[in-house]
Amino acid sequence: MRARELGRKSVVVGDRVGLVGDTSGAPGALARIVRIAERTSVLRRTADDDETTAEGRLERVVVANADQLVIVSALADPPPRTGFIDRCLVAAYDADIEPLLCLTKADLAGPEAVLGYYTELELPYVLIRPDSDLAALRALLAGRVSVMVGHSGVGKSTLVNRLVPDAERAVGTVSAIGRGRHTSTSAVALRLPAEPGADGDTGWIVDTPGVRSFGLAHVSAESLLHGFPDLVEARVDCPANCPHTADEADCALDAWVAAGKADARRLASYRRLLASRSGEGDPREPERNPGDPLAGS
């Protein structure tokens, strides 16, 4: 229960709260939340990119107080979508949360295409196969609150069940058209179990329902660029108030890419996000560049 004096202040997964009452956790126990501690970080998303729409104005807090955003993407079945990963990176940098790329189903396809796309970012990553030893991933999760996000069907809940065997998160299959089926229906925080002989805080993971897209209406157009750190430096040569759009003749981002300092696909992804903020694209539908199998959102 929540104390009346908290009013409409919402409580979300990851919040640190003060409790009074029976905190034993026994069946029938009743306690009240009387205090919500100040949040160190808030990861948000919207259903739409455009803040002029009802969906864009409605912010959803995914998790509070997370240290790390684990972006889970399958390398096949369903195929990786760097457009979606880019959105998650923007949200992570905006919330001041460190990103970690977790590439699953590495037994079905290699990671070269995805990792090549992010070469300039030095983005930390782990590769996961069905028989993988998860020691490297556990080391990156230890002592931290990590929130896991990803499309349905990428193996996120399967991974959670391997990390926390008692979690019993529902798992599903990928449909015939290559889309995952929603299995997890609510976000839940799970403490990672201690490994034999290990000391210290094992950390927490927050498993979230599979999402089709990650709306960014809450992120300003200026902050959007900070989700593309490989392009940020180029803006110093842009004219004042440059919109960075493709029709801006003096935008320095084009010259930056032409000089080989960033991947042209990264610039195209950034400009797609800019366009979707103006209502020119639907963030819920896949976006592709001709000939680029990784461009979907």
Beta bridge partners of 46: 59, 215
Whether the CB-CB separation of 59 and 226 falls below 8 Å is answered with no
Interatomic CA distance for residues 234 and 127, integer angstroms = 32
Q: How far is CA 41 from the centre of its chain?
A: 14
Which stretches does DSSP call E strand in the chain?
17-21, 31-36, 42-46, 59-64, 68-74, 98-104, 125-127, 145-149, 188-191, 204-207
Cβ neighbors of 276 (< 8 A, separation 6 or more) are 49, 50, 282, 283
Residue 285's pLDDT is what?
43
Whether the CB-CB separation of 76 and 104 falls below 8 Å is answered with no
Residue 140's pLDDT is what?
96
Whether the CB-CB separation of 207 and 188 falls below 8 Å is answered with yes
pLDDT in tens, 36-64: 999 999 999 888 887 778 777 788 888 99
Residue 222's pLDDT is what?
83
Interatomic CA distance for residues 202 and 136, integer angstroms = 13
Residue 258's pLDDT is what?
96
Which two tokens mark 177?
A: 């058209």
Positions in the chain short of pLDDT 50: 172-184, 282-291
Interatomic CA distance for residues 208 and 199, integer angstroms = 27
Interatomic CA distance for residues 212 and 179, integer angstroms = 9
Residue 263's pLDDT is what?
94
Q: Please tell me the pTM assigned to this model.
A: 0.84
Whether the CB-CB separation of 192 and 213 falls below 8 Å is answered with no
pLDDT in tens, 149-170: 998 889 888 899 999 988 765 5
